[in-house]
């Protein structure tokens, strides 16, 4: 395996990490802290990301509710996660950190709201 260059996203330093596999061992260089080394190892084994998005609502003043995952999800599942979110419609009041989708894709990850949404925004029908 050639050296693989990864930009660390754990902190603002943005270290250029280089990963080389020697047998079963990963050799990490370029990190300024241990978090960078851990990030590089995880990035090579099972890269994960926190996801922020929006879901549809029935409320005129807030037609989209901002949401995020409560922990990281595998990068390979992001497209499937976005498909699930595209089918969500919020029709009731929501508070910050309410669970919108529990255990999405059987991943152990919840999708939670990042904003309040109240009845004062409800469409008149």
Is it true that domain 52-121 has CATH number 3.10.530.10?
yes
Q: What's residue 22's pLDDT?
A: 87
Mean pLDDT by 10 residues, the chain (125 residues): 85 94 91 92 93 97 97 97 99 97 98 87 49
pLDDT of residue 121: 46
First CA to last CA distance, the chain: 62
Hey, where are the domains in the chain? Answer: 4-45, 52-121
Give pLDDT tens digits for 35-55. 999 999 999 999 999 999 999
pLDDT for residue 23: 85
Residues 75 and 86: their CA atoms lie apart, in Å, by 18
In this predicted structure, what is the pLDDT of residue 24?
85
């Amino acid at each position: 395996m050639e050296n693989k260059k990864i930009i660390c996203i754990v902190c603002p330093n943005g270290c250029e990490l280089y990963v080389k596999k020697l047998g079963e061992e990963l050799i990490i260089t370029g990190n300024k802290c241990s978090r960078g080394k851990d990030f590089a190892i995880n990035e090579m084994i099972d890269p994960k990301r926190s996801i922020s998005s929006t879901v549809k609502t029935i409320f005129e003043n807030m037609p989209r509710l901002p949401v995020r995952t409560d922990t990281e999800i595998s990068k390979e599942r992001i497209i499937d996660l976005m498909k699930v979110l595209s089918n969500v419609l919020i029709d009731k009041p929501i508070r910050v950190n309410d669970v919108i989708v529990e255990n999405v894709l059987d991943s152990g990850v919840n999708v939670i709201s990042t904003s309040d949404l109240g009845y004062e925004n409800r469409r008149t029908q």
